[in-house]
Amino acid sequence: MKAYHEMTKEELAEEIKVLRDKYHDFQALDLHLDMSRGKPCKEQLDLSMGMMDILNSDSDLICDDGTDCRNYGVLSGIEEAKVLLGDMMENNPDNIIIYGNSSLNVMFDTVSRAMTHGIMGNTPWCQLDKVKFLCPVPGYDRHFAITEYFGIEMINVPMTPEGPDMDIVEKLVAEDESIKGIWCVPKYSNPQGYSYSTNTVRRFAKLKPAASDFRIFWDNAYGIHHLYPDHHDHILEILAACKRAGNPDLVYKFSSTSKITFPGSGIAALATSRNNLEDIEKQLKIQTIGHDKVNQLRHSRFFGDIHGMVLHMHKHAAILRPKFQAVDQILEEQLGGLGIGEWTKPYGGYFVSFDSLPGCAKEIVSLCKKAGVVMTKAGATFPYGKDPQDSNIRIAPSYPPIDELKTAMRLFTLVVRLVSARKLYSEM
């Protein structure tokens, strides 16, 4: 089909009429499909059901070092869990704290602690006139929600296929002492699926921030979430890079098993320098006597070691891969060559990022919803929910059954064509 920009006004009018009729046909189907969040599907959750049989009333709940997991204590987590997540995160177990079920909770606590008590002796952020955060965009809406909740000013930094625009990052953090952090999803980023290049990670490690309490919030949410057995993105390990660069305290690295086992009942971790750990533990020992060690033991025994976890992730990939392939195939079949949209083709993670013509995203999402398919809210991938171009839409293929996903994507591409044709027609 001819690219929409090359169509005459009459051709666009006819295209709009045909697309409008097809849209009404979709509305008549009375669909109720949800693609709004990157949730694991039932088949993925079923992969971890064996974990429920690992421990029972006859189980030995004593760790290798003699710790009784039923009792109080072990503030930073049992050694078996530290080793398992240390291998997953590519970090020394001695540099890790094991938390509860949610890395988002750990990130919230980390920002909250900086607000009320400061970082390593620095002035608490709540006592400062202005606190700012850098936000690579498009990015993860829940990151932005945390900083917005605390009244922190968020500054957009464009993402590239190699990571955030480091020229902008380096300049801003060096010049402005009120900039205290940056949100990062360094591997299979949310929503584009980009992985930071080695050069980008090295430039992060060598940052010279004006603020001594500036920290990189490194959310390695998709570290082992590959889609293809023969293609894995690899990124430089950030803590080691920071140490080599003489910036050992620069980064907080977060991860969890949320999309590995059960999202509501996994284990989370923070890896960072010894200085940062000691600072965090001052608060942590007041907040809790220790997190759920029984769950930590359950995870450790279920996987055995990192090799067991990797094999487990191969099973996840086998479920997810056909869904991502279906999304790309339908986008290419329905929109390829029309000049009205671009999308990413990630090798891992949970999302596909779609960019429509400027000014179309909100209407596309709205029309999909009216026909029974709920997408992530347009603008969600930007701070304050404000996409300056109104073009980015996050596609989350993981949750729906593949037949429903294909139906949803056919509706989505139809709506993209309808909204784009209307826009170009109105501009003639």
Mean pLDDT within 313-318? 98
- For residue 273, the number of C-alpha atoms closer than 13 Å in the C-beta half-sphere is 20
**For 92-121, what is each residue's pLDDT tens digit?**
999 999 999 999 999 999 999 999 999 999
What is the length of the chain? 428
Percent of the chain with pLDDT over 90: 99
Where does the pLDDT of residue 258 fall: very low under 50, low under 70, confident under 90, or very high at 90 and above? very high
Q: Do domains 4-44+310-426 and 62-304 have the same CATH topology?
A: no
Using CA atoms, how far apart are residues 180 and 187, in angstroms rounded to an integer? Answer: 22
- pLDDT score of 325 more than 90: yes
Distance CA(176)–CA(170), nearest Å, equals: 10
Q: Name residues whose C-beta falls within 8 Å of residue 24's C-beta, 6 or more positions apart in sequence.
A: none
Q: Rounded to whole angstroms, how far apart are CA atoms 241 and 237? A: 6
415: confidence class by pLDDT, cuts 50, 70, 90: very high
Q: What is the pLDDT of residues 117-145, one digit of tens each?
A: 999 999 999 999 999 999 999 999 999 99
Chain-wide mean pLDDT for the chain?
A: 97
Q: What does the pLDDT read at residue 132?
A: 98
Using 50, 70 and 90 to split pLDDT, how confident is the model at 1? Answer: confident
Enumerate the domain spans of the chain. 4-44+310-426, 62-304
Give pLDDT, residue 234.
Answer: 96
* pLDDT one-digit tens code per residue, 31-90: 999 999 999 999 999 999 999 999 999 999 999 999 999 999 999 999 999 999 999 999
Is domain 62-304 classified as CATH 3.40.640.10?
A: yes
At 348-392, the pLDDT tens digits run 999 999 999 999 999 999 999 999 999 999 999 999 999 999 999
What fold characterizes domain 4-44+310-426?
Aspartate Aminotransferase, domain 1 (3.90.1150)
